[in-house]
Amino acid sequence: MNPFNQPPQTGDLVAARRNISCTLTEEYTNSPSVRQGTRGLVRKRTGNQLTVAFDTSYGLTESTVHARDCRLIQRTADEKRFMEWTQLKTAVRIGALITLIAPILWYVVVYWAQTGSLDGVIEALIVAALESALELPGLILAHPTQTLVWIAVGALVTRIALGPRPRRKRRKQRR
């Protein structure tokens, strides 16, 4: 008898089989907080309903879902270890977000100190972003190793901070 054919029980590690909206706002805006494949720990089981603490990478989201919406990954997972892992992942993501946002905030502070107001700060940010993008080919030619390392680290920090891109379902091609 295969133990993975049985429905998940309390303490099991599961993954969401579909996108799950936890609030009405998420349902109406079609922006679910629990994406397909998100892992979670079963806290309680009542019939076919599971109360699962999903790790949404910005903290835990507890939701009650039908058992068919979850795929069993591991029986009797260590709850303490799962909670510590989610806290560590959340801290790393928040740190990466701060790393991405800090230069923009610094630019705004310097702009405010030099001009005395925030009038035109959006336009100045756009111009600065365009100038930086136009300088990139020159930097690659002048300092290829440093620039490519900088781009790779920036891409990694962005991936950590914002998570993987959501996958789009492929449309079936008509023949």
Query: Starting from the edge strand earliest in sequence, which strands make up the sheet with 39-46, in order?
Result: 60-66, 49-55, 39-46, 13-16, 70-74
Residue 152's H or E segment, with its range, is helix 144-162
Q: Which residue has the higher pLDDT, 24 or 116?
A: 116
Residue 172 banded pLDDT, cuts 50, 70, 90 = low
pTM given for the model: 0.65
Q: Which residue has the higher pLDDT, 175 or 75?
A: 75
For the chain, the structural domain boundaries read 7-77, 91-161
Does residue 169 carry a pLDDT above 70? no
| Mean of all residue pLDDT scores within the chain | 83
CB 101 within 8 A of CB 94: no
Q: Which residue has the higher pLDDT, 31 or 122?
A: 122
Does residue 123 carry a pLDDT above 90? yes
Distance CA 158, CA 111 (A): 25
pLDDT of 105 reads: 94
Does residue 156 carry a pLDDT above 90? no
Fold of 7-77: SH3 type barrels. (2.30.30)
pLDDT of 175 reads: 58
Distance CA 26, CA 33 (A): 7
Mean pLDDT value across residues 117-142: 92
pLDDT of 127 reads: 94
Taking CA atoms, 122 is separated from 99, 115, 119, 127, 158, in Å, by 20, 13, 8, 9, 22
Q: For residue 121, what are its two tokens?
A: 């700060």
Mean pLDDT value across residues 63-72: 85
Residue 3 banded pLDDT, cuts 50, 70, 90 = low
CB 50 within 8 A of CB 42: yes
Q: Which residue has the higher pLDDT, 49 or 171?
A: 49
Mean pLDDT value across residues 150-154: 89
83-96: pLDDT as tens digits? 888 888 888 888 88
What residues form DSSP beta bridges with 28?
none
Taking CA atoms, 28 is separated from 35, 108, 123, 167, 172, in Å, by 16, 34, 33, 20, 26
